[in-house]
Structure 1
């Protein structure tokens, strides 16, 4: 790998990271042309849902002449109508009257509780220790071959996406967080469970950690013989590419990536790109080249989000750009059933048409992408198409991944519903009374018992 500087940095490339939070919202939304009442409404939404952006996103990605309709602006800035009008008005009244912070937060917590802060049973997936002792916080073993690990120091991001399904991690409520600093517990668990071949470091964003901290989590995993791959879920390439170019520990981080690859394990860099513009700066392209030079594989993924990327041309451009720069299109997700889902969700029928419209205009190298996919409680469900069978219009679906491995790859059918936005909005089709995961007995419990004896 060459660690030389192979391009002239952009004006913001070498600047230190600067975060903007809710206290900067009034100034920034005024720059977007919002009036006083609209700015107050945005502040009210930000009292419920997290807001954080940084200087790179502000200076390099947002088209301020197009704000507040600019897609990158909408990607990171709260919108006044993201929450029910009565909730926004309630918080706005408290802010206008100068109510104490504790009173505002109590009202916000009541609203958050109605937003399904932990979809797909996230808080119930912490794995038990050997011998049935207390669960290991910050570790999830949802599928037999994969464990998710949430490093404690990685539970924030360079900027927050307005649609983030893990928004509850960032609102300052300790009861809503799940994370761990016990890497030795993870290693012990992996050695006791050789069926686990892949670990996903997630958050938050693990790449918010400096190299020295990241290394403390990664290096012990290299000694687990049964582990085939280490995945890092991150938005850092889009929101702070300096992490791999000009940050003080950028070179050390890339050397750590090399060490993972040299150990014989696959390092999968799971990059979140929500819009083609995030790939436009030369700085991002340079960061991509440097990461790929370590031997890591960059796979790209994002949810389909209304008002930000809900058209086929946007996804076609993204996937073609990613392939051009040596990255592997991986997933188009459906917006999860949490937070402001009603605001951002695209109906499944429309999601499939957007996916298909982009998929049929890209080369085979980009058709590695899967979607539209829902990460629901039973597993990852993909909408494969719409068909008419025995006179009934149906969604054709299959499990990409499932808690019960017997369901993986098996097609099933749901009644066509042009308004459905999530798996649990659907009903069985073709005379079936239940979906496959409802029919599987206590096999789900048996699977968990087998995975966690």
Structure 2
């Protein structure tokens, strides 16, 4: 199989778009203005094998990866444009930083309630929200082969260290995990951990396979590589090394879950993607897929039905249908909760039982993962039926609660509790210290 070379394109390469489509100088300028606030990166695989250039403005992958002036409020767009015109670099940086702060760069109190303590100080690059699961952010894995423009991890990519989560050189996260025997699952996340070379990824994986972390029985790796650069698993110059490392995880007796971010069925249709899936399954990895509902990308029943059907056929477990988090350019991409529920119900009712493993629509909030389970009538009041599929307080899991139906609500903060007893499930908790170990 011929080896493909990954080519990355950022804001400085915008002229590459002229190779693919007729695009005006004004459109490229607007692209650049938005790019001063939000991150942009695309690669040759997305450009050559995913985007349909015969209709780019209607193509899900063009919308998924390209910037649009409507991602910024008009006043913010104008402020950035003025700062660029004035040529004052510091002023432009200040304007961009102020806009980013208003875009809620760290939703769900993740920097205050999720970062654990070890010997009285926070553990860099680690989040511990649920008792059983820790998230690890490898410092070299906080970028991607291409950026999804809706991504809730966008602050990782804008070059502001104060917004970035990443491990430090001491890798104190390993000491924390060795001490916390309640942790059974470790999720390597980003960015994309598989952007790292296999030799670098090994530094994070090997410490989890020893006897001191025998309580860690599942290792998850969150990645978009299967969708945006499947050659990572097949023809990259260290693809064989990566596969060997992943196989070592399986042979150690751990459950290896590749948590794939797949937004559209076309990502699974290329020969390169199918080859990558077969290679991962051959070593005993378990493949799970998740994505939010994104307006203009997958906000229809047919797309999700095709996606889940294709995944099951190829040996992938449909896992979550998410609701976009309350961060970044969400206003450009979000759909109402009622619409997300209709899409979920429409799709899940048209697939086999094996594809109904997908849970949704799910809001990943500071309190936990809230599932919108349905709509019911209580005494003449139309109501959302909700439950937690995961929660900081395990006692909340699968306890139904209710909110007044609102066909404009797009997030939990737009919901009103039905009764006083439902209020605690929808109230934002007071900030508190994350779990500690001394």
Q: TM-score range by the shorter chain?
A: over 0.9
Q: 1:335 aligns with which of 310, 321, 324?
A: 324
Matched, 1:104 2:92: yes
Matched, 1:272 2:261: yes
Q: Is the 8 A contact 1:126 1:135 kept in 2?
A: yes
Aligned partner of 2:167 in structure 1 is 180
Q: TM-score, normalised by structure 1?
A: 0.92
Aligned partner of 2:292 in structure 1 is 303
Q: Distance in 1 between matches of 2:78 and 2:141?
A: 34
Aligned partner of 1:55 in structure 2 is 44
Q: Distance in 1 between matches of 2:373 and 2:170?
A: 38
CA spacing shift, 1:423–1:361, aligned 2, 3 Å: same
Q: Is the 8 A contact 1:148 1:202 kept in 2?
A: yes
Aligned partner of 2:122 in structure 1 is 135
Q: Deviations over 1:375-412 (max 9, x none)?
A: 10100000000111222111111101111111111111
CA spacing shift, 1:30–1:253, aligned 2, 3 Å: closer
Q: TM-score, normalised by structure 2?
A: 0.95
**What does residue range 198-277 of structure 1 map to in structure 2 within 5 Å?**
198-223=185-210, 224-277=213-266
Aligned partner of 2:423 in structure 1 is 434
Q: Is the 8 A contact 2:124 2:168 kept in 1?
A: no
Secondary structure of 1:365 counterpart: helix
Q: CA RMSD in A?
A: 1.9
Q: Is the 8 A contact 1:26 1:43 kept in 2?
A: no
Matched, 1:42 2:31: yes
Matched, 1:120 2:84: no
Displacement after TM superposition at 1:437 (Å)? 6.0
Q: Deviations over 1:126-167 (max 9, x none)?
A: 21003x2x1111101100111001000000000000000010
Displacement after TM superposition at 1:173 (Å)? 0.6
Q: Distance in 2 between matches of 1:309 and 1:152?
A: 31
Q: Deviations over 1:82-130 (max 9, x none)?
A: 11122222323443x3714433222211111110011011222221003
Number of residue pairs aligned between Structure 1 and Structure 2: 435
Q: Distance in 1 between matches of 2:6 and 2:161?
A: 26
Q: Is the 8 A contact 2:367 2:428 kept in 1?
A: no
Matched, 1:374 2:378: no
Q: Distance in 1 between matches of 2:437 and 2:384?
A: 34
Q: Is the 8 A contact 2:124 2:173 kept in 1?
A: no
Q: Is the 8 A contact 2:403 2:422 kept in 1?
A: no
Q: Is the 8 A contact 1:398 1:408 kept in 2?
A: yes
Displacement after TM superposition at 1:303 (Å)? 0.7
Q: Distance in 1 between matches of 2:382 and 2:18?
A: 45
**What does residue range 373-452 of structure 1 map to in structure 2 within 5 Å?**
373-430=362-419, 432=421, 434-436=423-425, 438=427, 449=435, 452=437
Q: 1:194 aligns with which of 176, 181, 201?
A: 181
Displacement after TM superposition at 1:436 (Å)? 2.9
Q: Distance in 2 between matches of 1:100 and 1:295?
A: 55
Q: Distance in 1 between matches of 2:379 and 2:310?
A: 41
Structure 2 segments unaligned to the other structure (5+ residues): none
Secondary structure of 2:357 counterpart: coil
